[in-house]
A and B are shown apart, each in its own frame.
Chain A
């Protein structure tokens, strides 16, 4: 097989605030092939957005990479200086954000905002940039693109704004697109349109995507691979089909059970008891231990690296067999797997 587009190895990030140092990304590793989509799911504050920002070197003040590497197209991004990183950002790696309301400049016409990337990175003239903006707007399905060039973000709907943001991210034809919960702020019908657009763009451009979300349904719709993040670590990774149908980590199982099931309205919506541990002083042993129904005494000590169960499917749980049995016995998960 050829080298992956992106290969993250043992990535660690520290974030020092005035009061404490937290570790929002701890020992994260994954590979992304050309044209592949990796979903990253986890609850708020588990480090998934921070991980995404680390990939393009945009950590907030006080944040720094303390270990590991991010190899993108053969280059370790961690070793690049600010100027070299700027050339990667926007040009080779695009990013779209959660809030289309706030992620666009409110006092700049959208056409100008889309054209800015090619002008800044590729030396386009204003006129050529405008031309490129029209092309991109048509590509992302904005009707009447020529007229909308001059619209301000406040004059567009949420879905249209998200399309503008996608057009901006794709303007310099990057090889990798990072999506930070791009559909979370949209209502369901628009969410569906945006997901279809992303899928279609990926098919036509062969771009690699990392799609961060807390919504398992969205991830299953758009991704080939999924990584489940809990307390700054990846606890399970594998193909979407195998992870969702055959979860081998109790946390994944808990997430799946917490999705409302409309085929079985009478069933009680389950939630995972407890709260995630502090990322400043993560507990010894397995970080999910205190909330886990399968926890044993041997979960309390030692390291819990990802271990491959079958093929590309890996889990950090040492009792994954018992988790699997429970999943298979669960009518909800069983019914989903049958779909």
Chain B
């Protein structure tokens, strides 16, 4: 059979596509994309969906309970819960996506350099990674935010400073395995520079796992931000944010359960959407 398959028959365009075409868009990916599209779309279009302000205080309208005017009721300061939910998503999603993107880029770059050059660079980087990984993630983030003081900037710094190591760890391991392949030696034999070998030959072959991980990492980062908000270390009031909304709402849990429950539900739905999307991407990117 080997002889037959290696005959130089002309390829049809169908055959040329086959290698890629085998990658199907799975139902998982579609479900995940739809959920994310709806949530992100609603969050972006918040001013069009609701006419209330997320921050304007109106004590006369406090704790009204769900009605046609206020779909999810109002909180103890008379702010529309539905409006705060939409605007709060902007804060949570923006921080989560940007912080994960920054961690991804930084961690991938560091991991690639460490894995490719090896030696003392690798040893040094991996010891730093080990030290950061040795601490429980939440403890480290909370400690950092506590030191830096509450605020959006502190949250970014705390998340990126602790999260990049995951990507370094994933990428470095892949690079070490991949650089032993003959095509990397071939690239060196063709006289390519280290940067070209890393960017064009190593990273494209190693990045899949990091991309898949980054999807679940976004979920995890949203949970981190929400937890910080719940602990009072998050985005300072009056800005709406899912975690602080849950924290504020819990004191009224017996009379107005909707105030703490709906931010929780939206976090869960977002998490499910991102997880499905991540799984779908993993199927799509899996080579052969």
Give me the interface of A with B, judged by CB distance under 8 Å: 56, 58, 61, 85-91, 94-95, 97-99, 102-108, 116-117, 120-121, 142-144, 147-148, 150-152, 154-155, 157-160, 165, 168-169, 186-187, 189-190
Contact = CB atoms under 8 A, between A and B. Distances in A.
Interface stretch (B36-44, B156-164, B199-207, B264-272): B199-207
Contacts of A165: 186
B190 A151 contact: no
B255 interface: no
B183 A104 contact: yes
9 contacts: A89-B190, A91-B191, A97-B186, A105-B204, A107-B205, A107-B287, A143-B10, A151-B11, A152-B19
B5 interface: yes
Contacts of B6: 157-160, 186-187, 190
A143 B16 contact: no
Interface of B: 2-3, 5-8, 10-11, 13, 15-16, 18-20, 118, 181-183, 185-193, 196, 200-201, 204-205, 287-288
Contact of A105 (B5, B15, B18, B205): B205
Given A108-B204, A189-B3, A155 B19 contact: yes
Nearest to B5: A157
A205 B66 CA distance: 83
A88 B188 CA distance: 11
Contacts of A106: 183, 205, 287
Given A58-B185, A108-B200, A159 B8 contact: yes
B8 A102 contact: no
Contacts of B196: 116, 120
B8 A154 contact: no
Given A106-B205, A152-B19, A121 B191 contact: yes
A147 B2 contact: no
Question: When A and B form their complex, which 5 residue pairs have the shortest distance between CB atoms, in order from nearest?
Answer: A89-B191, A90-B191, A90-B190, A157-B6, A95-B189
A107 to B, nearest CB: 5
Nearest to B186: A103
Given A95-B190, A165-B186, 14 more contacts: A58-B188, A61-B118, A97-B189, A103-B182, A105-B187, A105-B204, A107-B287, A117-B191, A120-B190, A152-B19, A155-B16, A157-B5, A159-B8, A187-B6
Contact of A97 (B8, B10, B182, B193): B182
A160 B287 contact: no
A102 B183 contact: yes
B191 A187 contact: no
Contacts of A186: 6
Nearest to A92: B191
B25 to A, nearest CB: 19
A94 B187 CA distance: 11
Given A103-B182, A103-B183, A87 B200 contact: no
Nearest to A83: B193
A70 B46 CA distance: 71
Nearest to B15: A155
Contacts of A157: 5-8
B11 A108 contact: no
Contacts of B15: 155
Contacts of B189: 56, 58, 89-90, 94-95, 97
Given A97-B185, A103-B182, A159-B8, A120 B191 contact: yes
B190 A99 contact: no
Nearest to B207: A107
Contacts of A104: 183, 186
Contacts of A95: 186, 189-190
A159 B4 CA distance: 12
A160 B9 CA distance: 10
Contacts of A147: 11, 13, 16
A116 B190 CA distance: 9
B204 A89 contact: no
B183 to A, nearest CB: 5
Contacts of B3: 187, 189
A59 to B, nearest CB: 11
B183 A87 contact: no
Nearest to A160: B8
A164 to B, nearest CB: 11
Nearest to B16: A151
Contacts of A105: 183, 187, 200-201, 204-205
A152 B200 CA distance: 15
A306 B225 CA distance: 75
Contacts of B192: 86, 90, 116, 120
B188 A89 contact: yes
Contacts of A58: 185, 188-189
Contacts of B182: 97-99, 102-103
Contacts of B7: 157
A226 to B, nearest CB: 23
A165 to B, nearest CB: 7
A102 B19 contact: no
A61 B176 CA distance: 14
A186 B2 CA distance: 9
A227 B30 CA distance: 62
Contacts of A160: 6, 8
A159 B7 CA distance: 8
Contacts of B287: 106-107
